């Protein structure tokens, strides 16, 4: 009886926070979900009756002349570009972040806060400012092309801006700290005596990396990949500034439907589709980090 009263008191104490989450987080999502099943308004917005046209147009299109249905290759290319750039950004940040995190974790304990401080400095600046800083580096008259031309390595500027490569460079720069910090936390807990044991068993460095280090820091790897992949998949500012209007990602495409396209049901359906993809990534994360047999008593 006392346990039940304590549980009831706990629910009552958490009720205000749950109400705020319900209204502030779940409420807007339900509104977007509802919009995806309504009809497109004449000048934006939505109206009755209910319709599946928004969901139909996510991956399909209907010919205006004969009504034939086919795959919407334009939408599929945007989805593919978003997934490809997000996965590539995750891979590049991991390749760059792992040695960075290892370097920080192997420094003397007194100097580690300084290195972590340097990693977190970019968070002090607005994302838009950081993106424009990358723009100044990779544009035709920017730092990279200027240095290469003065060294005589190229005769004309390399077109990097407004390409997928520009978006990849920008997102790698923006999301690299999200990979370094979880990796550092995992490496910091790593027992270095296992390295000595691996070398004593005549394993070379690559085998120690594959068989000892990577399996033991797997939670940090998975956490870093999720922290990079999810925001990269829905990125808006970096693709808009560095990729231009033609090389858009799913976040830019959703904004286009609510803005110039004035097709709120399609934009809502795209937003929910993105949310489903993010939830799928989170489920993979939970499955990868849950110990096997952890459900047993």
Query: Does some domain include residue 18?
Result: no
Residue 1 lies in a domain: no
- Is 99 within the bounds of a domain? yes
**pLDDT exceeds 90 at position 176:** yes
Mean pLDDT of 91-110: 94
- For residue 96, is pLDDT > 80? yes
| pLDDT(179) > 70 | yes
Position 294 scores a pLDDT of: 47
Average pLDDT over residues 200-222: 88
Residue 294 in domain: no
User: What pLDDT does residue 288 have?
Assistant: 72
Q: What is the mean pLDDT of residues 275-292?
A: 80
Of residues 3 and 73, the one with the higher pLDDT is: 73
What pLDDT is recorded for position 297?
39
Q: What's the mean pLDDT in 12-33? A: 87
CA neighbours closer than 13 Å in the CB half-sphere of residue 104? 25
Is residue 170 in some structural domain? yes
Q: Residue 263 maps to which CATH number?
A: 1.10.3720.10
Q: How far is CA 83 from CA 61, 90, 229, 250, in A?
A: 21, 10, 9, 9
Residue 4 maps to a domain:
no
Residue 55's pLDDT band (boundaries 50, 70, 90)?
Answer: very high
Confidence of residue 296 (pLDDT cuts 50, 70, 90): very low
Q: What is the pLDDT of residues 162-171, one digit of tens each?
A: 999 999 999 9
Residue 23 resides in a domain: no
Q: What is the reported pLDDT for 253?
A: 94
Of 162, 112, 160, nearest to 137 by C-alpha is 160
Domain total in the chain: 1
Arithmetic mean of pLDDT, 45-61 = 92
Q: What is the mean pLDDT of the chain?
A: 89
Specify if 244 maps to a domain: yes
pLDDT for the residue 1? 65
Average pLDDT over residues 248-257: 93
pLDDT tens-place string over residues 114-166: 999 999 888 888 999 999 999 999 999 999 999 999 999 888 999 999 999 99
Which residues span the domain enclosing 238? 29-289
State the pLDDT at residue 75. Answer: 92
pLDDT confidence bin for 200, thresholds 50/70/90:
confident
Phi and psi angles of residue 263, each rounded to the nearest 5 degrees, phi first: -120, 80
């Amino acid at each position: 009886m006392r346990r039940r009263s304590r549980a009831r008191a706990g629910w009552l104490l958490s009720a205000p926070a749950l109400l705020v989450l319900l209204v502030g987080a779940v409420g807007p999502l339900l509104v977007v979900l509802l919009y995806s099943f309504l009809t497109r308004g004449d000048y934006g917005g939505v109206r009755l009756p209910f319709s599946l046209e928004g969901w139909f147009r996510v991956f399909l299109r209907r010919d205006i002349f004969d009504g034939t249905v086919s795959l919407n290759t334009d939408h599929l290319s945007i989805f593919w570009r978003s997934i490809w750039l997000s996965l590539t950004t995750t891979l590049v940040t991991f390749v760059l972040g792992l040695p960075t995190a290892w370097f920080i974790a192997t420094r003397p304990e007194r100097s580690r806060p300084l290195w972590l401080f340097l990693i977190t400095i970019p968070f002090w600046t607005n994302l838009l400012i950081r993106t424009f800083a990358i723009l100044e580096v990779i544009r035709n008259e920017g730092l990279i092309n200027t240095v290469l031309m003065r060294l005589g390595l190229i005769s004309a500027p390399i077109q990097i801006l407004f390409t997928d490569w520009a978006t990849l460079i920008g997102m790698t720069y923006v999301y690299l700290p999200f990979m370094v910090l979880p990796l550092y936390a995992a490496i910091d807990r790593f027992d270095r005596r296992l390295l000595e044991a691996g070398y004593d068993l005549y394993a070379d460095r690559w085998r120690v990396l594959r068989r000892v280090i990577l399996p033991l820091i797997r939670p940090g790897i998975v956490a870093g990949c999720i922290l990079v992949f999810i925001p990269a998949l829905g990125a808006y500012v970096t693709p808009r500034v560095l990729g231009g209007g033609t090389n858009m990602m799913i976040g830019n495409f959703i904004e286009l439907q609510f803005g110039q396209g004035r097709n709120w049901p399609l934009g809502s359906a795209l937003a929910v589709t993105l949310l489903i993809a993010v939830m799928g990534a989170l489920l993979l994360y939970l499955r990868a980090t849950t110990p096997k047999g952890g459900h047993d008593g």
